[in-house]
Every structure is written in structure tokens, then in C-alpha cells.
Structure 1
Amino acid sequence: MEVYLVDTELLKQKIIEASKDIGIDKIGFTTAEPFDHLRTSLIEQKENNHTTGFEHGNIDERLYPDLIFNQPQSIISIALAYPTRMNERLKSVRGEKRGKFARASWGTDYHHILKDRLDKLITFIKEETPKELELDFKPMVDTGELIDVVVAQRAGLGFIGKNGLLITEEFGSYVYLGEIITNIPFEPDTPMENQCGECTKCIDQCPTSALLGDGRMNAQKCLSYQTQTKGFMPEEYRPKIRSIIYGCDICQEVCPFNKGKNFHFHEEMEPDPEVVTPLLKPLLTISNREFKERFGYLAGSWRGKKPIQRNAIIALGNVRDKTSIPHLLSCIEQDPRPVIRGTAAWSLSKIDPTNPAIYDFLVEYHEKETDEEAKEEMRNAIDRMRI
């Protein structure tokens, strides 16, 4: 029996209805035609070093569904809205500073949540179609080949804003996206046109001028990317992350389409305030096991503890937390990782730049340091201090 013998319009309506019970907040359908209008842009981004390296490496596979799926006919796109404010009140701890995870890392890792919804959707479709049909599905989230926002835009879920994010009418840009390529020929939905108009708030408010104005960005300059790197963060970005230890929400926070958006539809997405706004100083000495147990379920833990610890050290410097000085000195004395030692030196020079004891300490450990990058960081910190 061939797929085209199925009443695809009726099946589509059943899928739309079932998606609500499955826990999908918005669903759309599009063709499996190539996205080759993006080829020039993707090549330019790569040539200009505007990519992160986290993207799928094969440009053709990002543009041509038939290269990653046998005879694709349609793509189903889904969106799940996530919360922007915490329901639980955060407990204040006197004299202690906290870091912050961006909203997209609140709750259970969204990759797992989306996979659950996509798998349930595929199961439903199989149950609603004859068993003899040779149906095929390829579910994916942002670790897959296709570009989620482009698929979602063409499937009518929303439009791509000047910040490069998908903006939906109902939920703004606070949505997770996923898609399923299939050999079922569904009728496509109507794509949405950009509605940003003359608004440039996201571009104007981006601290690093990462947004290029046309929906693209220099991803190397994006603070979200910078918080996910593993080496030394370039010094120009350190003050700009403030006390954020993972991600960045600024271009979403200033977007008019996001005003008042706050949805709590999915229990797995609810944030634990103590986890997503953790005390900074304890992060400096957290063990691998403790990190995994406490933060392992967050999307923001995917790069491991070192970037989070480095960012926590930067945040302590940005908030000028003098109570952290003994902890930072200990990092330089005892931590085996050059990135941690060098970043701690930077932070100390920001917290108390006129302290002669810190100056002498940095001079001593600069002479002992064997890693060239960490040594340079210590030298720069010494030069900044006004002794």
C-alpha cells in the first residue's frame, strides 16, 4: 500500500488535535523542498568566521532534506513554550552573590523534552495509519542537520526576527523547536513574513554588536556562545556577561513581541531557583560528581563544569565580591587548570586593584606559572593593579 492512499488532510487534522494532548504548543507543516536560498548566506557566514563550530558541518545537508532522508515529502515542525519567570521565590543569602543561567537552560534539558514529544507524535501517527504502510520518520532538534528556525518559519509557526530567533504570535521567541522529516505528503502551511518593521531594539541593545541586522549574527561575538567556550574568554567580553554564567537573554528581553510572555505549560521546564541562580563561590570548588548531580539535567551543563566555573570567576570579578578573594587566591595556588588560574588573576585585579598583598601574590605566582596563556593573564592583571 502506498503512502499517498492515506487521507493526508484528515491525518493532518488528527495530528494537530493530538499534538495538544501530547504536550506540543504549536505545530506546522511544510514541504521537504530544499532550503537552498540560504546557501550564499551560510557560505558567507563560514568564510567570515561568524559561526560557532557547534553547527552541523555539512552545509548541503543543512539545506537539502533528500541528502539525509530517503524520498522526503514533508517536514512537521513543533514549538514548546518555556517560562520566563520563576514561580518559586529565591532565598537570599546574606553577603553571597549569585550567578544566572539563561532561561533556555531552565528545567530539564530541552533536547530530552523535545525528543519525548517528537517520539510521542511519531507513535500517534503510526497508530493512525495502516500497519502495511512503509512510513518513515527522522526527528531532530538543534543538534540535527536542518536549521530549526528556518523550518519553523516555512511551516507557519512564526517569523524569524532581526535577532535570528523564531518569534511566534502566542509565545514570542520563548520557544523550543523541533521537527520531523517524513515520507507522508502533507499539505504545507503558509509561511509567515517578518513583522519586525523598523524596530531595532535587539540590535541596539546587544552588548557586543553581534547582530548584523538581517536575522544573522556574528556568533563568535554572541555572549551566549562566549559563555560556552572552554578556553580563556577574550577580555573584551568578560565585563559584558555581568553575572550570567550560561547563555544570554538580552535580545529576547528587549523584544516587544516578548512583552508579558510567561508560560508554565510543562512541568519539566520549571526552574529550581537554587540551581539556575546558584551561589557563585561554591561553584569554584564543586567536584565533577557534585556538578553532574546538581546541574547535569540542565541544557547549560553540556560543556561540563569548567566553562561554568570560569564564568563564575568572571562574575565574581564583575560584581566586585571581596569575600571571594580567598577563594580566588586558592584557585591560583591549587587548581591544575590554566584557564581557572589565569581567569582568577583577572578577577582579583578587578575586585581589589589597590591591594598590595594581592599584587605581591600575583607577582609570586606569575614567576611560578608554567602555562604561557595563564602567565600572560597574570602579567596583565599585575599591570592593571594600581600599586
Structure 2
Amino acid sequence: MDFLQLKQEIIEYSKTIGIDKIGFASASVFDELKSRLIRQQELGYQSGFEEPVIEKRTNPELLLPQAKSIIAIALAYPSKLKDAPRSSKEERRGIFCRASWGEDYHHILRDRLQKLEAFIAEKVPEAKMKSMVDTGELSDRAVAERAGIGWSGKNCAIITPEFGSYVYLGEMITNIPFEPDTPIEDQCGSCTACLDACPTGALVQGGQIDAQKCVGFLTQTKGFLPEEYRTKIGNRIYGCDSCQTACPKNKRIDFHFHEEMEPDPEVVKPLLKPILSISNREFKETFGPLAGSWRGKKPIQRNAIIALGHFKDKTAIPELTMVLKEDPRPVLRGTAAWALGRIGDQQAISILEEAVEREKDEEVLEEIVKGLTMLQP
């Protein structure tokens, strides 16, 4: 079979189904990545959301026997919010990162990969294929880099010449021996804009990230947020774009190719106070379609409380008091106590002193004490 011709047919077909960029790579072991992942593991820099078995992350043949090639795809997503609602003194708003605007990208990319699989299966009935997006074993970035989609930037994102780093990535392992494309040369040069912009110093050095410090990761955790990071999060309720917005390669980059990626401004930049009392049903209806809802409402609510503390929003004291008094979840009660202390209103002192008398949870009591300490003259 003429695999060169098939490759060209796949490239042409990909354009008709809304794939913005496609590349082909060999399915050989990712040796360099393996070394880096082992080092990351040793340093404790992993998030814990990754596939734990490094061999599976670096050896495509373990995922698809007789793997010969990997097809990488990229879809560009919007970076600018049209008609963004303004945050006001009495109506403070949070923000979801750009990668969580519109419909959950996992669904969008799986749809494109399924169509690509069907097209290839029609051409080569005996073809074997395995597709994945984000939660798969392989490193999307390592595959995209090898396939010439873009280079791996100092911010640990794939940066494409056409769309900057505002791209979703997916890949398909196959037993078809496609000719690989040429990787793109690194174009970051001496620039350190992303490292300088990182709020927590999570970017240890160019191309190396301590995921445990990354705001994007921290907003997805479910427990108490370490105190040193609470003031760094600002009004982010899911994810972080600092290293992307600081990147010169993303300047004036904004593409609106896919209708399902278009964000609802009121959803991705929501009012904070209503989030504190949102029901499970309301949360699912409002935020369920977003990628940022995957961990449920608790992290979003905790982050909203931290954001209200960040704004020192005195109008939120009744809502925060209600959480402190009535919410069954210690993390939210404790975070509300911290936020009340941060807001610094005289009224908060009596609220927190009353809470000390009734609270039984040790961690929550610690947070109440922190709040009271902040309120001392």
C-alpha cells in the first residue's frame, strides 16, 4: 500500500472535520522523556493525576502491540472573551482558565479522533488504532513535539507557530508505518517571560515544572489549600493562564474556529457569592459541560471563598458566615474562616469568636484562629 498517499489523504480529510493541525511521529520509545519523568518523580514534582507507570507513558508498544506510528492532532481554542462581564465592588467575579472555556475539550477531541479512526479503518480495514486525549497514558506534549505540531516551551506547553500555545492536543497510536514529520526547532531563545510570570515559582526552570506548586494544579485539589498559595490564586477558580498570557508567542493570538469552544461569559467569569450556596443540580447544569467541573463543586467553591478573601469583599460576609455556620464540609468552613479574617471587618471578629465555641473540627479551629490573628490590631 502507498502509505505516503494515505498520509496525504488523512491530512486533507483532517481539515474537513475541524482538525487545525496534524502531524505524524514514530512510535519508538520516548527515551529522553523517560529520563525526565524519572527525575520528576524523584523530586516529587508530579501532580498525581498522571499515569503512574512511567513505562506506559513512554513506550507506545505497551499500549498498542506492533505500534509503528503516532498521529498527533491540535485544535486551536479562543484566548479572548467577547463581551466579558465586569467585576464590581459588590459583584466580584472569578475566572476559569481558557482551556476550560466552552464544551469540555476531551469530548471535542475524542469526536475528531473517532472520525479519523473511521476514515483510516475504511482505507485500511486491518489497521489497529488507539486514541487518547489528556487522560491517556502517553504524554500529549511529547507526542506533539515529536510530530512537529510545535516545540515544548519553557512554560511546559506546546507552542505552535500558528496558534501559539492555545491548542488542545490528542493522539492516535497505529500499526501503520507512516513517514514521520520533522520536529520544530525550539524558538523560546533567551526569553524567560513565563518563568517570571508564574505566581508561585512552579516553573523551576525552562521546561521543568513542580506541579505541586502550579496554580492550575492547586485549584483542582480538594483539601485545604496551603496558606502560602492562597494569596497567589487571586480570583482564579479553575486553572491558571499566567505563563500563557505572558508568552510573546501568544501576543494577538485569538482563534474562534470551533463553535463548541465558544465560552458563555457569565459561566466562565461567574459571580462568586452565588457559588457558595449552589446546589449539586445547579452546579451540574451551569458548570457541568466545562472541563473545569471534573473535580466537582467543592474545589470550585473553596476557590471562590479564597477569591472573596482576595478581594476583601465585605459584602460577602453574610454568605461566608453561612458557610462557616452551616456547611458540613470542614474544608469550606475553615476556608471561610480564613477569608473572614482576610476581609478584616470588625464584624468578622464576633463571627469567628462565636465559631470557636461551636466548632469541633481541629483543622477548622486552626483556620478560625488564623482568621482571628489576621484581625488583631
Of residues 5, 10, 27, the one that matches 1:15 is 10
Q: Which amino acid aligns with 2:201?
A: S
Q: Which 5+ residue runs of structure 2 have no aligned equivalent? A: none
Maintained 8 Å contact 2:19/2:73? yes
Measure the CA separation in 2 of the matches of 1:316 and 1:384: 16
1:248 Cα deviation after fit: 0.2
Partner of 1:367: 357
Q: Which amino acid aligns with 2:363?
A: E
Say whether 1:271 aligns with 2:266. no
3-state SS, counterpart of residue 74 of structure 2: strand
3-state SS, counterpart of residue 221 of structure 1: coil
Say whether 1:80 aligns with 2:75. yes
Partner of 1:293: 285
Maintained 8 Å contact 1:141/1:177? yes
1:47 Cα deviation after fit: 1.7
Measure the CA separation in 2 of the matches of 1:211 and 1:256: 17
Partner of 1:3: none
Partner of 2:223: 231
1:93 Cα deviation after fit: 6.9
Q: Which amino acid aligns with 2:189?
A: G
Say whether 1:140 aligns with 2:140. no
Measure the CA separation in 1 of the matches of 2:319 and 2:87: 21
Measure the CA separation in 1 of the matches of 2:350 and 2:34: 55
Maintained 8 Å contact 2:244/2:250? yes
Partner of 1:358: 348
Q: Which 5+ residue runs of structure 1 have no aligned equivalent? A: 1-5
Measure the CA separation in 1 of the matches of 2:208 and 2:245: 18
1:361 Cα deviation after fit: 2.0
Q: Which amino acid aligns with 2:116?
A: L
1:94 Cα deviation after fit: 7.3
Partner of 2:209: 217
Measure the CA separation in 2 of the matches of 1:95 and 1:339: 25
Partner of 1:35: 30
Of residues 143, 155, 172, the one that matches 1:151 is 143
Measure the CA separation in 2 of the matches of 1:193 and 1:338: 49
Say whether 1:256 aligns with 2:283. no
Say whether 1:124 aligns with 2:116. no
CA RMSD of aligned residues (A): 1.2
Measure the CA separation in 1 of the matches of 2:369 and 2:231: 19
Q: Which digits, 9 at most, give the CA deviation of each residue in 1:74-110, with x for residues without a partner?
A: 0000000000112345377772111100000000000
Say whether 1:386 aligns with 2:370. no
Q: Which amino acid aligns with 1:35?
A: F
Of residues 108, 111, 130, the one that matches 1:113 is 108
Measure the CA separation in 1 of the matches of 2:15 and 2:159: 20
Measure the CA separation in 2 of the matches of 1:165 and 1:18: 27
1:352 Cα deviation after fit: 2.1
Measure the CA separation in 1 of the matches of 2:40 and 2:143: 19
3-state SS, counterpart of residue 72 of structure 2: strand
1:127 Cα deviation after fit: 2.1
Say whether 1:63 aligns with 2:53. no
Maintained 8 Å contact 2:195/2:206? no
Q: Which digits, 9 at most, give the CA deviation of each residue in 1:16-46, with x for residues without a partner?
A: 0111101000000000000022222211211
TM-score, normalised with respect to structure 1 = 0.95
Partner of 1:182: 174
1:338 Cα deviation after fit: 0.3
Say whether 1:338 aligns with 2:338. no
1:214 Cα deviation after fit: 3.0
Measure the CA separation in 1 of the matches of 2:39 and 2:368: 37
Q: Which digits, 9 at most, give the CA deviation of each residue in 1:209-254, with x for residues without a partner?
A: 1112231100100000010000001111111111110000000001
Partner of 1:164: 156
Q: How many residues align structurally?
A: 377
Measure the CA separation in 2 of the matches of 1:203 and 1:185: 39
Measure the CA separation in 1 of the matches of 2:140 and 2:33: 13
1:300 Cα deviation after fit: 0.2
- The 5-angstrom pairing of residues 301-340 of structure 1 reads 301-340=293-332
